Amino acid sequence: MKTLNTISQTKQFLLEAKKEGKSIGFVPTMGALHEGHLTLMRRAKKENDLLAVSVFVNPIQFNNPEDLKKYPRDLEKDKQLLKSVGCDVVFAPTVDEMYPEEKVTEHFDFGKLETVMEGAFRPGHFNGVAVVVKRLFNIITPDKAYFGEKDFQQLAIIKQLVKMENMPLEIVPCAIVRESDGLAMSSRNERLTPDERALAPFIHQTLQQAVRLKTEKSPLEIVQWVTDKFKEQPAFTLEYFELADAVFLQPVKRWEKAKGTIGFVAAFLGDVRLIDNIRFY
Ligand code: PAF
């Protein structure tokens, strides 16, 4: 496994691979790898000749400086895990390598996709994601890039980015990977105290219970029901629970069966912000 820190070395390495006719599967990450990431990587390795992974904590997608400071980082541990899934090349640039300019001015317009949920609560977040993902795609030139559905809105934004920029690659969505107690895997879970970790499965359990009520309640009633459930659990501060269609991510008042309906949640447990989602239709 090769670890490269510069854009030019990485481009060179991947150009050689392309000349040999190899296909490139890419998994972009911010490190602190867990089984969720490794699942994407195993799939990418199986479906392509070469697996490329980036490890870069992207400062411009953090709207909260404290969150950026506390984001877990351990490249040596990540490299061991990357070796275990047969990663061929790790791109681990510095912030200066990715952002040589003084201020990033590139701006994308994702319309309504970015005005709801994560976009509303984390101003600038998706622009930061889009800037880094576009740069990473240009460096890695993957045939396929793999993203987890836990960040469902991010996935929608990236699909839109690829469309707007006419990028010649396939975005492969991958199902949420959960711990045995249902908690969606996330690098942020590392920051939960043991007590908080024990409470965390409440999120998925509540979403599952809500899905069971979908035939007897309207979307509005379900939103109220989930909101009330969270109020009964003082350890959590619910930021939002929304039912939205699965394509444009706009709130639904009636069950949207054609496009699909998904329930999205973001909640603080202590000072850790967790997100999750579940399909209703
Ligand atoms: O999902 C993530 O880990 C990040 O948002 C990504 C896609 C690696 C961009 O920094």
Q: For position 110, what pLDDT does the model report?
A: 98
Q: For position 214, what pLDDT does the model report?
A: 98
CA–centroid distance, residue 129 to ligand 1 (Å): 6
How far is the C-alpha of 31 from the C-alpha of 11, rounded, in Å?
Answer: 21
In 10 A of CB 275, how many CB atoms?
22
DSSP letter at 125 equals H
CB contact at 8 A, 54 and 29: yes
Counts for the chain of helices (H) and strands (E), in that order: 11, 9
How far is the C-alpha of 153 from the C-alpha of 117, rounded, in Å?
Answer: 8
The alpha-helical segments, DSSP class H, found in 85-124 are 95-98, 117-121
Q: Output the six-digit token pair for 228.
A: 């009330």
Q: Is the CB of 29 under 6 A from ligand 1?
A: yes
Task: Cite the residue boundaries of each domain of the chain with CATH code 3.30.1300.10.
Answer: 187-279
Q: For position 55, what pLDDT does the model report?
A: 98
Q: Output the six-digit token pair for 159.
A: 């699909």
Phi-psi bin for 182: left (phi > 0), alpha (psi -120 to 50), beta?
left
Beta strand extents in the chain (DSSP E only): 2-4, 24-29, 50-55, 89-91, 144-148, 170-174, 236-245, 261-269, 272-279
Considering the domain 187-279 in this protein, what is its CATH number? 3.30.1300.10
CA–centroid distance, residue 30 to ligand 1 (Å): 6
Q: For position 162, what pLDDT does the model report?
A: 98
- Give me the catalytic one of 37, 107, 125, 204: 37
Instruction: Say whether 37 is catalytic.
Output: yes
Q: For position 90, what pLDDT does the model report?
A: 98
Q: Output the six-digit token pair for 96.
A: 């200066």
Q: For position 215, what pLDDT does the model report?
A: 98
CA–centroid distance, residue 58 to ligand 1 (Å): 8
| Residue ranges of the chain whose pLDDT lies below 50 | none
pTM for the model stands at 0.97
Task: Cite the residue boundaries of each domain of the chain with CATH code 3.40.50.620.
Answer: 2-174
What superfamily in CATH does domain 2-174 come from?
Answer: HUPs (3.40.50.620)
Instruction: Characterize the bridge pairing of strands 261-269 and 170-174.
Output: unpaired
How far is the C-alpha of 177 from the C-alpha of 172, rounded, in Å?
Answer: 15
Give the contacts of 87 (CB within 8 A, at least 6 positions apart).
1, 41, 45, 51, 52, 53
Q: Is the CB of 145 under 6 A from ligand 1?
A: no
Q: For position 151, what pLDDT does the model report?
A: 98
